[in-house]
Amino acid sequence: MTTEQSEIDPSVPPSGAGCAECDPAGGWWVHLRRCARCGHVGCCDSSPAQHATAHFRATGHPVIQSFEPGEEWFWDYRTDQPLDGPELAPPTAHPVDQTVPGPADRVPADWRSHVH
Please count the CA atoms within 13 angstroms of the CA of 9 that sit on its side-chain side: 10
**50-89 mask for Zn ion (x: CB under 5 A)?**
-x---------x----------------------------
Which residues, at least 6 apart from 9, have a Cβ–Cβ distance to it below 8 Å? 36, 37, 38
Q: 32: part of which helix (H) or strand (E)?
A: strand 32-35
User: Site mask, Zn ion, residues 1-40, x = CB under 5 A?
Assistant: ------------------x-xx------------x-xx-x
Residues that bind Zn ion (CB under 5 A): 19, 21-22, 35, 37-38, 40, 43, 49, 51, 61
